[in-house]
């Protein structure tokens, strides 16, 4: 995703969201920087993780502008082709 996301950064809102309630945004951003992730990081609010049924680190959920989940996968899943397709679909909604 590191190579695919920059192509869609202006058309698709994409965030890495922490799952450990003890991690601050500063810790998440430092980790993101150390890994070379080009997307912003965020802390989940309220019961967001429960609502999205996020139970493990590196879960991936893509939500369209209507709030519909268009893609869901787990750790080390989702090829470049898959993410390009997901980002294309989401970017097409912004037109």
- Sign (positive/negative) of CA torsion 41, 45, 50, 51? negative
Considering only 7-16, 49-58, 83-92, which range has the smallest mean pLDDT?
Answer: 49-58
What total of structural domains would you count in the chain?
1
- Supply the range of the domain harboring residue 11: 5-93
Q: For residue range 12-70, list pLDDT tens digits in order.
A: 988 888 888 888 999 999 999 999 999 999 998 889 888 888 877 778 888 888 888 88
Four-CA torsion 48, 51, 52, 55, nearest 10 degrees: 90
Which residues lie below 8 Å from residue 86, measured CB to CB, with a gap of 6+?
A: 62, 70, 71, 78
CATH number (domain holding residue 19): 3.40.30.10
């Amino acid at each position: 995703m590191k190579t695919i996301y920059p192509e869609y950064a202006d058309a698709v809102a994409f965030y890495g969201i922490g799952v450990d309630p003890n991690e601050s945004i500063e810790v998440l951003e430092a980790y993101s920087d150390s890994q070379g992730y080009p997307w912003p990081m965020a802390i989940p609010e309220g019961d967001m993780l429960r609502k999205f049924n996020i139970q493990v680190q590196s879960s991936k959920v893509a939500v369209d502008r209507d709030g519909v989940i268009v893609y869901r996968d787990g750790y080390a899943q989702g090829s470049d082709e898959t993410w390009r397709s997901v980002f294309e679909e989401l970017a097409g909604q912004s037109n």
